Amino acid sequence: MAGWCIHSAVLVSALTRNCRFEDVSQLMSTRENVFGILSRQARLQQAVKASAQELRTLEVETILESSALSRSHGALQSSLKAAMYLSELTEPCKQMGIDIDSTAQLEAANVLWDQGEMTASIGILQNIRRGMTSENTTMHVGPAELLAKLVSYSINLKRILWLTTPCAGSSSIRG
């Protein structure tokens, strides 16, 4: 199973560099569906010699790849859909012993940031940071990564606000 997944990931990586988003998005959607179906069907899990947890983890990783790909191509509606689906998977994953809550929230923050919802994005990152312990996330979110993203987003937001705020007293200066 692992070898097949690696080959699949390499194929998608190559295609994302060399193909149009419309073409690759269909492939990504198919990968999400395949791993989703496999993670819910015991008979199929036996056939591919993988556990439900392994397959659910691959499904989540594929959704994250799809969302990142969508964001990189400006397909924000597609990335929002992926982030929402990831949030819906939080409870089923938790029942399997996979905690993706912080991962789903981080992806939602990324999507909101790319859609221009900067304050909401930073709020989500702050909430993740407040609730984070070393044991409460199974996938993808480390304290260092979270802090770096929070600082980066905060600095960028302050820079944008500074650039868009008129200078105090500028109307009284005449040239």
Domains of the chain and any CATH numbers: 21-162 (1.25.40)
Compute the distance between CA of residue 16 and CA of residue 26 in angstroms, rounded to an integer: 11
Write down the pTM of the prediction.
0.74
Q: Is residue 45 predicted with pLDDT exceeding 70?
A: yes
pLDDT of residue 15: 61
Top-confidence residue, 8 or 65:
65
Which tokens belong to 29? 């959607």
Quickly state the pLDDT bin for 20 (edges 50, 70, 90): confident
Averaged pLDDT, 35-52? 92
pLDDT of residue 87: 95
pLDDT of residue 22: 82
Q: Is residue 172 predicted with pLDDT exceeding 90?
A: no
Q: What is the dihedral of CA 145, 151, 153, 155, to 10 degrees?
A: -150
Compute the distance between CA of residue 63 and CA of residue 78 in angstroms, rounded to an integer: 11
Residue from 23, 40, 93 nearest 64 by CA: 93
Contact between 32 and 63 (Cβ < 8 Å)? yes
pLDDT tens-digit series, residues 104-136: 999 999 999 899 898 898 889 888 888 765 555
User: Which residue is it, tokens 């979270």?
Assistant: 146
Which tokens belong to 138? 């199974």
Of these ranges, 38-42, 69-73, 153-157, the one predicted with the greatest mean pLDDT is 38-42
Q: Is residue 1 predicted with pLDDT exceeding 70?
A: no
Alpha-helix residue ranges (DSSP H) falling in the chain? 2-18, 21-40, 42-48, 52-72, 76-88, 90-95, 101-114, 118-131, 143-164
pLDDT tens-digit series, residues 51-97: 999 999 999 999 998 998 898 888 999 999 999 999 999 999 999 99
Compute the distance between CA of residue 139 and CA of residue 7 in angstroms, rounded to an integer: 21
